[in-house]
C-alpha cells in the first residue's frame, strides 16, 4: 500500500479513506517503537466513536499503547486475525496489520490529520 495517500495522527495511527469507510492501523514507526506485539484490544463492531476517543490498546512485551480514534464514526469491521496473530502489525503494519474499519461521520475530521510529509517531519523530531 502506498503510504503517500494515507493520513496520519500525532499518536501514530494511519487512516485510509475508501469511499465513506476508513481503514485504520498504526504506522511502521509505531510498531517498531513498541517491539513484538503480543495483544491487540480492538473496538467492537457497532461502537460509535468520537475523534480522539481511546478505542483500544496495543501491547508489546515491554509496553502498552492506546489506540486513539482518528475520526468520528461507527466501527464497521475489525481485523479478527489479530487475535491469533498480533504480529501482523509488526510484519505488515500498513497491510494485513490493519486494526479496524469505521464509517466516517464527517469528512472534515480528516482535515485535522497529517499528510505523509507532515508525519515524517513529526517522527524526525521525536
Partner 1 sequence: MKKTSLYEEHTKLSGKIVDFAGWALPVQYSSILNEHLHTREKAGIFDIGHMGEFIIEGENAGEILNTLISSNISSLKEKKCRYGLLTNEEGGVIDDMITYRLEENKYMVVCNASRQEADFNWFKNHLPPEISLKDISEETSKIDLQGPLSFDVLLETLSIDATHLKYFQIDYFNFNNREITVSRTGYTGELGVEIYCPNEVAVEIWQKLISHENVKAIGLGARDTLRLEVGLALYGHELNEEVLPNEANLMRFVSLDSDFTGKEKIVQSIENPTKALVGLALTSKRAARDGMLILDENDIEVGAVTSGSVAPSLGIAIALGYVTPNCQKIGTKLNIDNGRTKLEATVVELPFFKDGTARRKLQL
Residues lying near partner 1 in the complex (CB under 8 A) are found at 35-36, 38-39, 41, 57, 59-62, 64, 86
CA 26/CA 8 separation, integer angstroms: 9
How many helices (H) and strands (E) the chain has is answered by 4, 9
Residue 43 sits at φ, ψ, to 5 deg, of -70, 170
Q: How many CB atoms lie within 10 A of CB 72?
A: 18
116 by Cβ neighbours in 10 Å (0-12 / 13-18 / 19+) ranks as middle
State the minimum distance, in angstroms, from the CB of residue 103 to partner 1: 24
The nearer residue to partner 1, 111 or 126, going by C-beta atoms, is: 126
State the minimum distance, in angstroms, from the CB of residue 55 to partner 1: 11
Q: What is the rounded (10 degree) CA torsion for 39, 17, 70, 87? A: 10
The nearer residue to partner 1, 87 or 105, going by C-beta atoms, is: 87
The nearer residue to partner 1, 9 or 60, going by C-beta atoms, is: 60
State the minimum distance, in angstroms, from the CB of residue 35 to partner 1: 6
The nearer residue to partner 1, 38 or 48, going by C-beta atoms, is: 38
Amino acid at each position: 500500500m502506498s503510504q503517500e495517500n494515507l493520513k496520519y495522527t500525532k499518536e501514530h495511527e494511519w487512516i485510509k479513506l475508501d469511499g465513506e469507510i476508513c481503514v485504520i492501523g498504526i504506522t511502521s514507526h509505531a510498531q517498531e517503537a513498541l517491539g513484538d506485539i503480543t495483544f491487540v484490544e480492538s473496538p467492537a463492531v457497532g461502537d460509535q466513536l468520537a475523534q480522539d476517543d481511546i478505542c483500544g490498546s496495543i501491547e508489546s512485551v515491554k509496553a502498552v499503547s492506546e489506540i486513539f480514534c482518528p475520526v468520528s464514526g461507527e466501527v464497521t469491521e475489525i481485523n479478527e486475525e489479530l487475535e491469533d496473530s498480533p504480529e501482523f502489525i509488526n510484519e505488515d503494519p500498513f497491510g494485513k496489520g490493519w486494526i479496524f474499519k469505521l464509517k466516517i461521520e464527517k469528512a472534515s475530521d480528516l482535515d485535522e490529520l497529517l499528510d505523509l510529509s507532515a508525519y515524517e517531519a513529526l517522527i524526525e523530531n521525536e
